[in-house]
Amino acid sequence: MSIAEIKQTKSNLIAWIEQLSDSNLLAFLDSIRSSKSEGDWWENLSEAQRTHINEGVDDAEQGRTISSAEFWNRLKNG
């Protein structure tokens, strides 16, 4: 990733975070931000967060996924 791409990605993330209202997602992002890079981030997750991640991994392994285009279409159209 080039320096310009990194800067654009940061700008996009900042804009996205500013419009968030989901307190659980904000708490999760804050825990990532405040976690120590030397430690294992998995240990800092709540049991509920671990469960959700494991469910997502299981869904992916079982083929229960959709394309990003379909995701955004569903999100846009309700």
Q: Are residues 32 and 57 in the same domain?
A: no
Residues, the chain:
78
Q: Are residues 37 and 54 in the same domain?
A: no
pLDDT tens string 44-63: 889 999 999 999 999 999 99
Domain extent for 9: 1-44
Burial code of 9-44, b = ≥16 C-beta within 10 A, e = fewer?
A: eeeeeeeeeeeeeeeeeeeeeeeeeeeeeeeeeeee
pLDDT at 32: 84
Spans in the chain with pLDDT lower than 50: none
pLDDT at 37: 62
Contact at 8 Å (CB) between 42 and 57? Answer: no
Q: Are residues 38 and 61 in the same domain?
A: no
Minimal CA–CA distance to 29: which of 16, 12, 43?
16
Which residues have CB under 8 Å from 42's CB, separation 6+? 50
